[in-house]
Structure 1
Amino acid sequence: MLTRIITGVVGIALAAFIIQTGGALFSAFALVLSLVAWLEYVRAFAHKGIRGAFVLGALGLVLLWGCAWLGNAEETMAVTTGIVLLILLESVLLHGRFSFEDAAVSVAGVLYFGYPFAHMVLLRFAGEGQTLMTPLGAFDFGCAMIWVMFIGTWASDTFAYFVGSAIGSHKLCPTISPNKTVEGFLGSLVGTTASVAGLGVFFGLPVLEMAGLGLALSVLATLGDLVESVAKRYTGIKDSGNIIPGHGGVWDRFDSVLFTAPAVYYFAVLVLMND
């Protein structure tokens, strides 16, 4: 537990520095996270005898990240089409060594990690030139929304854990994640909604809309966690890796963010930036 706490504190401090710095540092960090998560994914499915297209997948992740950096939707579509077709073509060129199942799992992984981490980069650069005044000073709009995304996701996990540990008795998805409870999920709904609404007050954003975002983030964070749980049960692994002492792998730590990052981006673009 001590290792987990120390790692968590160091991780939050590092995340705060990277988020506040933004720019190339934040984007590069997002790319590294996506590549490490992809490696963990490929290793996980190797336990089932499924061979991931590691090199092509990594290339796809780099190109999707580059498209997010440039902010060009047409290039994103071109990259997605090209990488999907190339991975599928690999099942033809390497027939007997690389099956269609290998290709399908690889395509799923590239899209699963590539798009959410690309959305994280897009979110950090959203509303360039727009600042939000807070009691702690001015925040770039994109920086503020990254904090909303991370704090909302962390709040969902934290409230679910503590409420579930204290009063949880009804299993939410016992065949997928035995430790999750209905009570913990309800605690997450209330706690995350209140937390994100509080961030709305802090950043001077519309509180009612932010509360709605908090409610959505609670649901999405839970679903993101359950998706990884399904994958881990299928592949027979406990943790995706051990790169983060006491916390497992990057996939373990960012499974919920994979679902919440795109949601916050589109909320920012469609709701906040249209006001």
Structure 2
Amino acid sequence: MAGSNPSRELILRTLSGAVIVLGIIGCIYLGGTAWLCVVATLALISQGEYYRLLGKRLRLSRGIGYICSLAVLLSAVEGSRPVSIALILSLSTYAIFMVEILRRQTTGQSFVVGNVGGTLSGVLFIVMPWTCILLLRSLPTGNLVLVSLFASTWGCDVMAYLIGARWGRNRLCEHISPKKTWEGFIGGFLGSFLMVAIVIYVLEQPPYPLFLIGLVCGLAGQMGDLAESLLKRELGEKDSGRLIPGHGGALDRFDSILINGLLTYLLFGIVLT
């Protein structure tokens, strides 16, 4: 069987990436139900991929995890009754304990430590960041912040890939992701700033505070990518899924946006308000 064709893979990545870009940007500007649906869909699909990976070693209460995630996402919808995230997580923890009590009583076995940790980590690692991204849309400059966030994240990913593939020599984290290099890391950092500079120029915005998004995405986003790579390395998986041609799963495509979204909300939703 012939090996994979790099040119064909690049074309496939580019086409599927373009569809994602148009869909995300369109839903940002539509807002409302469209934005909620795209965020919730990506969050739950990514969570499902995460549970599939962890399910190789752990017993998980996936249903409780999904219900918890929906409650967290809906608690962030404008006009909904505010619900404490801590309350949702605490109730979900007790629900998992009830499942394991019944399992122990009926089978003589229980897996409460792994079940609680694995199930709720899917909410904390994936759904909470997407909830923060959902909340960014409700800020006075929400559209601008979100466009800058996604543009910087994508710019970082693309430049890290291209520069790493062309000039990468020095391994960044060879025990986690052997193909990542310091040259790619620097290229990704510069790509993040380049994209936010383009947004600032095209939309005629002042550089501050949008350049903070470039800083966050150029540094933290690449760490978020490594975090998912570490998970896959430990579990012996190449991709989280096969949903997106040329990219893998939703978690593979949107791993960097998770930490970027958390930190951007911290900056623009809390610190700078």
TM-score by length of 2: 0.87
Question: Which consecutive aligned stretches of 4+ in structure 1 deviate over 6 angstroms post-superposition?
Answer: none
Contact 1:34 1:117 in 2 (8 A): yes
Q: In the aligned structure 1, how far is the partner of 2:100 from the partner of 2:197?
A: 48
> What's the offset of the Cα at 1:39?
1.2
The equivalent residue for 2:241 is: 241
Q: In the aligned structure 2, how far is the partner of 1:179 from the partner of 1:271?
A: 36
Contact 1:244 1:250 in 2 (8 A): yes
Contact 1:171 1:181 in 2 (8 A): yes
The equivalent residue for 2:68 is: 60
> What's the offset of the Cα at 1:151?
0.5
The equivalent residue for 1:166 is: 166
> What's the offset of the Cα at 1:193?
2.2
> What's the offset of the Cα at 1:76?
2.3
Question: Is 1:112 aligned with 2:121?
Answer: no
**Of 11, 19, 38, which aligns to 2:28?**
19
Q: In the aligned structure 2, how far is the partner of 1:266 from the partner of 1:24?
A: 24
> What's the offset of the Cα at 1:201?
3.9
Contact 2:196 2:214 in 1 (8 A): yes
The equivalent residue for 1:131 is: none
Contact 1:88 1:100 in 2 (8 A): no
Contact 1:60 1:114 in 2 (8 A): no
Q: In the aligned structure 2, how far is the partner of 1:112 from the partner of 1:72?
A: 24
* 1:217-228 paired onto structure 2 within 5 Å: 217-228=217-228
Is the partner of 1:256 in helix, strand or coil? helix
> What's the offset of the Cα at 1:214?
0.9
* Deviation per residue, 1:142-191 (Å, 9 max, x gap): 12211111111101111111221222111000000111101111122222
Which residue identity lines up with residue 155 of structure 2 in the other structure?
Answer: A
Question: Is 1:123 aligned with 2:136?
Answer: yes
> What's the offset of the Cα at 1:261?
0.9
Distance 1:116 1:193, change over 3 A: same
Distance 1:203 1:266, change over 3 A: farther
Q: In the aligned structure 2, how far is the partner of 1:52 from the partner of 1:93?
A: 14
Name the count of aligned residue pairs: 259
The equivalent residue for 2:115 is: 102
Q: In the aligned structure 1, how far is the partner of 2:203 from the partner of 2:271?
A: 15
Greater shift, 15-24 or 94-103, is seen at 94-103
Structure 2: segments with no counterpart, 5+ residues:
1-8
Is the partner of 1:102 in helix, strand or coil? helix
Q: In the aligned structure 2, how far is the partner of 1:174 from the partner of 1:186?
A: 16
Contact 1:90 1:103 in 2 (8 A): no
Q: In the aligned structure 2, how far is the partner of 1:97 from the partner of 1:73?
A: 34
Distance 1:189 1:3, change over 3 A: closer
The equivalent residue for 1:179 is: 179
Contact 1:168 1:183 in 2 (8 A): yes
> What's the offset of the Cα at 1:72?
6.5
% same residue: 30
* 1:1-275 paired onto structure 2 within 5 Å: 1=9, 2-48=11-57, 50-70=58-78, 74-95=83-104, 96-127=109-140, 141-270=141-270, 274=273
Greater shift, 24-33 or 204-213, is seen at 204-213
Q: In the aligned structure 2, how far is the partner of 1:81 from the partner of 1:142?
A: 30
* Deviation per residue, 1:28-80 (Å, 9 max, x gap): 111111111111111112223x1221000000110000111147665323212
Compute the RMSD of aligned alpha carbons: 2.0
> What's the offset of the Cα at 1:94?
2.3
Contact 1:87 1:107 in 2 (8 A): no
Which residue identity lines up with residue 104 of structure 1 in the other structure?
Answer: G
Q: In the aligned structure 2, how far is the partner of 1:235 from the partner of 1:90?
A: 25
